[in-house]
Amino acid sequence: MKMNDSVRIDMPSWLRGFAEQLPQSLSTPELRMAVAVSLSRENLRHGSGGPFGALVVDRRDGRWLSLGVNRVEPSHCSCAHAEIMALSLAQQRLANWNLGRVASGDLELVSSCEPCAMCLGAIPWSGVRSLVCGATKEDAESAGFDEGDRPEAWVDKLQARGIAVTLGVARQDAAAVLGRYARSGQAIYNPVRP
């Protein structure tokens, strides 16, 4: 068997055109979440991955640095969640694994859904100083996704690390995309176990 010695996960081709249509600055959490939800919706519409979208934004001026969508199925990689993609692309763009050490040091992760257990672990290590979420863990699990085990006081734990957390921004819109995905017949990877 031939050994793989690299991993490459490409964003879908439609994302470039999507990015070109965005204003460079997204001044409010609501505008940022509208982009995250649009990313999740477009990923569903194009059949290019799971119904999740995320972006990294500089809170000083609202300038977005990266856009990510879920690529688990097309990339054959369980780590290819939208949040991980957005964080990784921002880290590559800024040539630093610690986003707290670059630019203003005040970068924000905006996600169409609260983080699963894996993404929750990545957030403090990424160096972002803020997290904004749309849909809830319960919304994702209602659509059939297993979000894993999170500590009950996960928000408090992030805030204790200096990471501000805002939940429920455009929750209804974000949850609607999850529901559409569940009804679409596309794969629910890592489904909730009875």
Catalytic residue among 83, 108, 114, 147: 83
Verify whether residue 83 is a known catalytic residue.
yes
Contact assessment for residue 52 and residue 88, using Cβ atoms and an 8 Å cutoff: no
Strand stretches in the chain, DSSP E: 53-58, 64-69, 107-113, 130-135, 164-166
Sheet strand arrangement including 130-135: 64-69, 53-58, 107-113, 130-135, 164-166
Residue 53 phi, psi (nearest 5): -135, 150
Burial class (CB in 10 A: 0-12, 13-18, 19+), 99: buried
DSSP per-residue codes, 1-21: -PPP-----PPPTHHHHHHHH
Q: Write the DSSP symbol of residue 133.
A: E
CA 108 vs CA 103, 159, 181: distances in Å:
12, 13, 26
The set of catalytic residues is 83
